[in-house]
Amino acid sequence: MAMGPLRRTGSGLYQPLADINVTPLVDVMLVLLIVFMITAPMLAAGVKINLPQAKKSAQPMKLNDPVMITVSKDGRVFVNADETAKDVLVDTVKAKLAGAEETPIRLRGDKDSAYGDVISILDMLSSNGLTKIALMSNTRPTPAPSATRAAQQP
């Protein structure tokens, strides 16, 4: 590192000129760049294979939409967007599945709904052989009530 000339202050003391040496920082960053460039292709998952070409008569698989069961905060039950009575819920879900038992069933309940309502629906479905059930939740964080009030105040 090259040091500049020392400055003389009025009291006769010498102080070194403060410089930031960025050379080690650049060296480290270049080494990290090279390491990541070498290791990135190794992180690719899977095995490379050549798939055979399908005949023209082959049809792609139909991807089934999941069956969405919603429990509202007042206890009403919806299958996709249609309101359904609890006593015909299993028949409605089986009709929506229409032989595609691998189609996932997604169960979501309102935050303010009774916990027992959601569990009773879950129990009703699983006791009738519908076991591929996923419980849905919101992954977006909600702001704390105090932060919301603080943002509203001038």
How many domains does the chain divide into?
A: 2
Which range marks the domain in which residue 117 is found? 67-135
Q: Do 35 and 72 fall into the same domain? A: no
Q: What is the pLDDT along the chain (154 residues), one digit of tens a residue?
A: 555 555 555 566 777 777 788 899 999 999 999 999 988 887 766 555 555 666 666 565 556 677 888 888 888 888 888 888 888 888 888 888 877 767 788 888 887 888 888 888 889 988 888 888 888 776 655 565 655 555 555 5
- Closest by CA to 90, choosing from 120, 58, 110, is 120
Q: Both 75 and 21 in a single domain?
A: no
Amino acid code (one letter) for 153: Q
Is the CB of residue 84 less than 8 Å from the CB of residue 77? yes
Q: CATH number of the domain at 125, please.
A: 3.30.420.270
Four-residue CA torsion sign, 107, 111, 117, 118: positive
